[in-house]
Structure 1
Amino acid sequence: MRNKIKHPFKFLFSASLCWGMLAVASAQAVTELQDTNPVQLGSEAVRADQRDMFLQAERLIERRQFTQAREKMLQLSDYPLLPYLEVALLEQNFSLANEPVVLEFFNEFTGTPAERQLRTAWLQYLVRRNDGERFLRDYRWQNSTHLQCFYLREKYRALQREIRDGASDGILEPFWNEVSDQWRHGRSLPSACDPVFAAWANAGQRTDQIVWERILLALNERQQGLARYLTRFMDDETRYLADLMRRVHATPNTIRRFQEFPGKDEREREIVLYGLNRIRWTNHNTLVEVWEHFRDRYAFTPAERGQMESDIAVTLALRGDPRAKQWFEGIDPADMSDTARQWYLAAHLNTRNFQAIARFTDRLPPDVASRAQWQYWAARAKAELGHIDRALELMEQAAQQRNYYGFLASARLTLMPSLQHEEPEFHPEALHVLAQQPAAQRAYELRQLSRFMDARREWNHLRSGLTEEERVLPAILASEWGWYDQAIFAFAQSGTLNDVHRRFPLAFSELLTENAQRASIDPAWVFAITRRESSFQVDAVSPAGARGLMQIMPGTAEYLQRGAPGPNPRVNIQNQLFNPEDNVRLGTTYLAELLRRTDDNWLLATAAYNAGIHRMQEWLPEESVAADMWVEMIPFQETRDYVKAVLAYQQIYAMLLGKDVNVLAPMIRMQINGGRRG
């Protein structure tokens, strides 16, 4: 089939684009920027026709009308997505007669998403044929455990043939390592692996330690039945470890039965740590009791000891237990995790102990003390203690940084924040070359067809072949194409953080602004929420099921729809949330409602948008507390980080929208208390 179709891409994408020196003055880059549209000027109408023809060819292949499909494909010889049609056609016509065509495709498109898709389908075809020789020849690592097991089985057979032909048994040693890696899995594996696993075990490779490791993996995957089955493979004298671990997993309080820990095996230490982490959030008193019992009975590493004592301090602080401070004081600030430092701060803010905060910030390592958060709170503490000159010095240092604390410091100093925007340095010709790469062209076309997942796969393939110096280029190119989410992600991954205009695009500007005005809320706030929620990715889906630009939960959407005036036709809410117009309308309506329910306190409404109004209300203190202190004491890290990010983004967007205003200024005198309940 392929030899009858003229194919547009005869040259593979080079792993390193040799574009010479990339760094040039940013001003020159702006003035000399060449056309980065993958569709040549004047050919957009032709490309639109090709998209329609591509979709027609796809439908013909699905209906197995192959002759008509090939006729369409002949007219698409220069269309970037032709490889996807070839894959679809080949998948429905696998045969040994077409093997040369399949292998040619593998060779020409090595590493591309289309090649991986075709290879997986081809391997499955070979499994059905039980064709081990071809399978081994064409196998590359696969996600499918079934294909992995078939590979191991066929490789073992091939090695056995070599041994029968006179090769040394030593050729099995690297193979046994592969089998060990496969066996060390948290879930049951396909029966295709059984013959190889049996040979591996007979060769003495199934050691007590490997069995133990797999039991731990199974319990982490909540596969109690598998863990129970694996226990039989432990040695007689160590089987008690597996039984004990399974009981601790099922009933964490088992860890309080100290007599069941005889100290015969060092792996009891792992069971103790596992059990402590299991009870950490359910019984903090037991956590302290058990750790104090076992702390000196096992040889915990310094890292394990430090982590556990930090975890205990954080847990006690989160529970409001006064013992938290005692545990924190036993840990050197230099050895604390960022989470432990955060909760040390929160614990002392809760009691207004600015003396302790000042001492703590003075003891931080220089690289930590120079962060805006600790400069800000060192300044706040010293101001409370009357050390005004030093407080001003630290606050001015914090105000130089473009983040929540920098903007908050600027508000305290009544200064306008600085965005510190810098254009990245790049060569315009390099950007033009990148835009013409086959993977870039395919990504562009897939995005035009709203096949966002496939477009991202092609984009990631494109980026994987770039050097460190070149990684800013796809960020700039994505921005030029209006592919805002990929631009944002690529800038973050490249470490190029000062291109504020591209990192904080005014995406969907008319849609967001009009809906903000309709809902009588600040457009900069809507931009900030959307930027934080989805990075402007219209098909974003969170692990919890929130969808679209403003990450609306289907239940929230249904609630808002019921309260909307006029008829409410039955629609598929989940799909509706991927429509930008519907999503933003619902999101801004919800923000306006949260504002109403929080007495127009946009700080509380921001927290409620992330955590829910009722949970946010649980965090409101009985006695008034300064707004900046309340933010630090939000018990959920996700919401705490979310609020800080949204407020910082809102400041940036306010300035990008032309407003000379310090968004965080209202926080300076704002007090939060339990009287604000919606």
Structure 2
Amino acid sequence: MAKGLWAALALALASLSPAAWAQLGDERILAAREALRTGDRATLERLSSARDPHVLDPYVRYWRLSNLLARPEPAPAAELIEFLLYEPDSLLAERLRTDWLRRMARDRDWSGFLQLYPDLREPDAELRCLQRNARLENGDMTVIAEVQDRWMDLVDANSACETVFRTLALAGHITPDQLWWRIRRQTDSRNPAAARATLSWLPVSEAPALAEFERATKSPAAYLDRLPPNFSTTRVGREVALAALTRLAREDVAAARVRFDRIEERFAAEERSYLYAVLGHQGALQGSANASAWFRAAGKIPLSAEQRAWRVRAALRTEDWRGVQAAIEALPANEQALPEWTYWLGRAQAAQGRSTEAQAQFRRVAGQPHFYGLLAAEELGETFAPPTRAGAVTADDIARAESDAGLRRALALYRLDMRTEGMREWNWALRGQDDGFLIAAARVAVRNEIYDRAINTAERTDPQANYDLRFLAPYRQLIEPQVRQQGLDLAWVYGLMRQESRFIVPARSSSGAQGLMQVMPTTGKWVANKIGLRNYQANMLSDPDTNVLLGTSYMRLILEDLDSHPVLASAGYNAGPGRARRWREDRPLEGAIYAETIPFDETRDYVKKVMTNAVIYAAMFEARPQSLKARLGTIAPRMSADR
């Protein structure tokens, strides 16, 4: 009897697929991750000492080594090297090198750092900064010229770079003029506190009191209203006043202009030009009709990339096509070649009767599957036709993808709901792969219902092909009835959902938005009350049916509230309907110009992508050409109550 049971068990085990064998070890993987999370070193040591053929076994060993590197004891160099040799070119090898390099930086082992750093495939901003510091500590003086050459581009550098910057500044390799320029840029940012460190690198005789700088930047209007008459006799006094004006302009550009008018003649010409550039930038963001004039008053003062872009948008908002052309042609070549400025330069040329030049610009981007490519094609008389091309994929391609170690690890991680780790593994596995492998990998992702990886993988292939993968339409039996009930456009809903969640049911944003339609709990509660959904609880957002019901209901409500215009409603879904209303103009405005001049970077990008997605989905659903310009339409003037 016993022999029969053992024989049956052996037969059952022998018949298990590799996937089933892998799942037998899942508990060990999950237990190891929990031990890492809770700091249970003994359990982690015990689990890592075992070996089994589970595809995620290297993770258990990596977690143990990562934990050891975080401890104060000396790093286990021999074990680290062994792992790197055993897992060459893997994501975990890259992550372990990163952990080890950070440990070397903490230990100030700069020679070891420089030996290991070249093996890193994709160093992040922090490690690039630490590498400069390691070189400087080892006497490599070429770092000085490298930092000086890129000083204007390093304003937003990782905080790990501050050690190098401080060392060079205190040694006199960075001049006070360069430091003040950095302080200005940092003050004109979302994190003005970053300027404190740079202030401390100024020579004592040329630095303001930190308390005074804090008053100027935290309460700029009050500070400016109490400026002493002799504030402008020193550079320090003028720079602190500029900092206050800059911070006030970010809050209220009109109030900043009033105060600047009182003291403008007290500043040097370069200082006035700098402040006019700030006013132009903030004026454009706040919808001031004076923005272009302020940019012109700035003269030839160097502008940041963001200021250069908003100089174009300020002219575009008022449909000053000559100004649009001048602002685009003043951009550096790499920025001028971007699709947005290629398209808008063509529009500016066309508006001035220079059709031959305009068509040449449009042809540069026409047909590319993005907002400007579709618009440029329409300027040439071509609406977006239903895509027909599918990329070629062979049985060998499928076999390569299915057997790829990185993709197999990614699938196992997704199965265990370790989505962040799974996404990292998936993306790492795609590096340097050909289109055949990528298409096959995208199909593997679809088969496993990992739709975001399918879309992102397909987007790495020929941009004119694989629309069936790049614009998936899953859950249609769930979504379409809700869309029809709400009276919405199915293509628009899919276009928005693709941008919101990439069709990942458990998607959750850092702000708390959840599900297929990324509904915020407070929004869900408001919508539930509006539509009479009883007993609403925030955890209901994890249910796809409820999530789609609330999301499509919200789309309908804001569409009805915003002139039934999908551009406004898309902006409202992302940033709130109140903002979408305020961003209108006092006159009718072309929908494309409205979208281009949305002041929030995220929302501007979002609206353009949602509307482009909607056109492509409509072409696929309806099997006929579609017009993006028609969908963008014209935005009606704002009401007086919205000002």
Task: Report the TM range for the smaller structure's normalisation.
Answer: 0.5 to 0.7
> How much does 1:173 deviate?
3.5
- State the alpha-carbon separation in 1 of the partners of residues 293 and 470 from structure 2: 43
Q: Out of 488, 495, 498, which is 1:521 matched to?
A: 488
User: What are the Cα deviations for residues 542-575 of structure 1, in whole angstroms up to 9, with x where unaligned?
Assistant: 45443343222221122234445465264536xx
Equivalences for residues 358-373 of structure 1 within 5 A: 360-361=324-325, 365=329, 371-373=342-344
Q: Structure 2: which 5+ residue stretches go unaligned?
A: 1-13, 148-154, 330-335
In 2, distance between residues paired with 1:176 and 1:414?
Answer: 54
User: Which amino acid counterpart does residue 239 of structure 1 have in structure 2?
Assistant: A
Matched, 1:173 2:119: no
Q: Which amino acid aligns with 1:560?
A: V
From 180, 187, 207, the counterpart of 1:239: 207
Q: What does the per-residue CA deviation read over 1:609-667, in whole Å, with 9 as the maximum and x for residues that have no partner?
A: 12212232334556655655655565545444433332221110011123426365755
Q: CA 1:46/1:287 → structure 2, altered by over 3 Å: closer, same or farther?
A: same
Q: Secondary structure at the match of 1:280?
A: helix
Cα separation, partners in 2 of 1:204 and 1:640, compared to 1, 3 Å: closer
**8 Å CA contact 2:508, 2:514 repeated in 1:** yes
2:560 paired with 1:560:
no
Structure 1's 495 and 272: CA in aligned 2 closer, same or farther, altered over 3 A? farther
Match in the other structure for 2:316:
345
CA distance in 1 between partners of 2:75 and 2:367 (Å): 68
Residue 534 of structure 1 corresponds to 501
The match for 2:579 is 615
**1:107-118 correspondence to structure 2 within 5 Å:** 107-109=85-87, 112-115=90-93
CA-to-aligned-CA distance 1:414-457 (integer Å, 9 cap, x gap): 96423666556888756744553322221122122221100122
Q: Is the 8 A contact 1:281 1:315 kept in 2?
A: yes
In 1, distance between residues paired with 2:110 and 2:267? 57
2:569 counterpart (597, 600, 605): 605
Q: Against the structure 1 CA distance between its residues 673 and 433, is the aligned structure 2 distance closer, same or farther, given a 3 Å change threshold? A: same
Give the letter for the 1:85 counterpart: V
For 1:233-312, list aligned pairs within 5 A.
235-240=203-208, 245-253=213-221, 254=223, 259-263=230-234, 274-285=243-254, 286-287=256-257, 290=260, 293=264, 297=268, 309=276, 311-312=278-279
Cα separation, 2, equivalents of 1:232 and 1:277: 20
User: Aligned letter for 1:316?
Assistant: G
2:621 corresponds in structure 1 to 657
Assess if the C-alpha contact under 8 Å between 2:325 and 2:349 holds in 1.
Answer: yes
Query: For 1:510 and 1:606, how far apart are their aligned partners in 2?
Result: 23
RMSD of equivalent CA atoms: 6.0
Q: Pairwise mapping of residues 264-663 of structure 1 onto structure 2 (< 5 A)? A: 274-285=243-254, 286-287=256-257, 290=260, 293=264, 297=268, 309=276, 311-319=278-286, 321-327=288-294, 337-348=308-319, 356-357=320-321, 360-361=324-325, 365=329, 371-376=342-347, 379=350, 381=351, 402-404=369-371, 416-418=383-385, 429=396, 432-433=399-400, 435-463=402-430, 466=432, 470=434, 473-474=437-438, 477-482=441-446, 483-489=450-456, 496=463, 499-538=466-505, 540-542=507-509, 544-563=511-530, 565=532, 567-568=534-535, 570=537, 572=539, 576-577=541-542, 580-598=544-562, 600-620=564-584, 627=591, 631=595, 634=598, 636=600, 638-660=602-624, 662=626
Determine the C-alpha separation between the residues in 2 that align with 1:317 and 1:209: 36
Q: Which stretch of structure 1 is more off in the superposition, 105-114 or 90-99?
A: 90-99
How far does residue 479 in structure 1 lie from its aligned partner after superposition?
4.8
Give the aligned residue type for 1:552: V
Which moved further from structure 2: 409-418 or 438-447? 409-418
Letter in 2 for 1:452: R
- Residue 3 of structure 2: aligned partner: none
Residues 270 and 603 (structure 1 numbering): CA distance in 2 closer, same or farther, change over 3 Å? same
CA distance in 2, matches of 1:495, 1:297: 53
CA contact (8 A) 1:549 1:580 kept: yes
Aligned to 2:151: none
SS in 1 for 2:318: helix
Distance (whole Å) between structure 1 residues aligned to residue 487 and residue 96 of structure 2: 52
| Residue matched to 1:59 | 31
- What's the offset of the Cα at 1:340? 1.8
- Which stretch shifts more, 661-670 or 387-396? 387-396
Contact kept? 2:589, 2:635, Cα under 8 Å: yes
1:378–1:107 CA distance, 2 compared to 1 (3 A): same
Task: Compute the displacement of 1:109 (Å).
Answer: 2.5
**Secondary structure in 1 aligned to 2:250?**
coil
Give the unaligned 5+ runs of structure 1. Answer: 1-41, 156-169, 349-355
Structure with the greater relative contact order (CA < 8 A, sep ≥ 6): 1 or 2? 1
TM-score (norm 2): 0.67
Deviation of residue 46 (structure 1)?
3.7
Q: Deviations over 1:80-112 (max 9, x none)?
A: 211123345677899999986555224322564
For 2:59, the equivalent position in structure 1 comes to 84
Distance 1:136 1:564, change over 3 A: same
Task: State the identity %.
Answer: 20
Q: How many residues align?
A: 577
State the one-letter code of the partner of 1:583. Answer: N
> One-letter code of the match for 1:109?
E
* TM-score, length of structure 1 as denominator length: 0.64
Taking a change above 3 Å as real, the CA distance of residues 588 and 263 of structure 1, as seen in their structure-2 partners, is same
Indicate the larger mover: 290-299 or 603-612: 290-299
SS at match of 1:572: helix
Partner in structure 1 of residue 10 of structure 2: none
